[in-house]
Structure 1
Amino acid sequence: MPKLRIENLYDTLLETAQQGQTVLSLIHDARIDWMHACGKKGRCTSCKMIVISGLQNLSPLSPREEFFRQQGRLSENERLTCQAQLMEGEVVCRVAEVNKFPHMDYSF
Structure 2
Amino acid sequence: MSRIVIQNLFNREINSNAAHCKVIELIHENGIDWMHACGKKGRCTTCKIIVMSGSENLSPKTPAEEKFENLGRLKTNERLSCQAELISGEVVVRVAEINKFPHIEYSK
Identity %: 57
- Residue 77 of structure 2 corresponds to which residue in structure 1? 77
Which structure: greater strand fraction?
Answer: 2
Q: CA deviation at 1:2?
A: 1.4
CA distance in 2, matches of 1:93, 1:54: 9
| Matched residue, 2:51 | 51
- Alignment of 1:37 with 2:37, yes or no, is yes
Q: Secondary structure at the match of 1:90?
A: strand
TM-score (norm 1): 0.98
C-alpha root-mean-square deviation of aligned residues, in Å? Answer: 0.5
Q: Which runs of 5+ in 1 are unaligned?
A: none
Cα deviation 1:22-72 (Å, max 9, x = unaligned): 000000000100000000000000000100000000000011001101111
Q: Which residue of 2 aligns with 1:92?
A: 92
Q: Number of aligned residue pairs: give it.
A: 108
Query: 4+ residue runs of structure 1 moved beyond 4 angstroms?
Result: none
Q: Give the TM-score taking structure 2 as reference length.
A: 0.98
